[in-house]
A and B are shown apart, each in its own frame.
Chain A
């Protein structure tokens, strides 16, 4: 293996790939970064058994080959190299790296012990990276973090023609986001359950256009692939049946309240300061006003009143403050609309504007209320 590559190109690609290497590798070879030089250029790959990352860059390949070197060390070296072309070659059990007058010699790890990298599934469609990252972030807040129920730690991706639906729930709340994209084939439909943390981290790091690949067929089954500008990530999917969440979304509600998002969010945060662990924040909606309360008479308590529009019957309802804050924080609109049936049935948070509306199904965040005693 022997090639020459631009310093900035290499440093950026190495830094991106090394980011996904496990901090505490279960086996030593996983701390390695695989360099593959072939006719397509140079590919850098990392793998932690669950997520694989691969960056492709163009390089002058003098001899093809593969080598496995310590990823963190290579990243540190590349960061500090002078701005000159980098020559990398393999010499026995060493990798030599020459950049200007700087020379490094790195030990290689046994390439034959390195696990087979998962194959990239075939492309399903594309969506702008910022839209995708924002959608994933809005849904990921509702995903569970409890490993005893693995399926709830995932984000469900459903593709139906040119609509993509993302959904996540941890049994106490449910977030559903829809967006349109450019599918590879019209009328395709597919679904997958991707670990939420992986999807959120990966979506954040992508730029330009994201290509989403869901597995079909034998090779790369059970995988999701995300590609943007020469960088691709694959992740293993979670298996199991995701709850049938569509039936949880009530079809109609008895009352609707519209509140400005930012003041609401701040007020909840203030009032919840006195809410002890596992105690709710109570919301009372009446015409033109919303009163928030937390704490009890025996202990510290707080209340705050906000302006609100109410359409329908007065209602008093209580929520876990953290979940309510997560839900409000996931919105990007100036106002929020809350839809209620009764104080013991789930409420739905949707984005809206000062003028009202908000019947859209672009983003829906369903919250289970806390039952008020007495």
Chain B
């Protein structure tokens, strides 16, 4: 096994990537909280007509938005620092459309 293969499957890189994925999962779990906190703010104004509740929930809303946007930007920078290749999805498997015997026959015909 070559050095590049060792680096590719080393525990250090795998654990680092796993940690990064866990961080993203934590961020992802908090993204829907933006809408719930915004809803609470609107309810405080429309239904309860309470300024104190509005201030409380609006602070929560803004903190959530700030946390998520800052966290995602940090993750984007981490991608650049780690020099992760620009490959979003694994390439699809390619199957031979014709049997191998035909390919071999065509190749042998070219060689003759």
A, B in one complex = no
Binding site for B on A (CB under 8 A): none
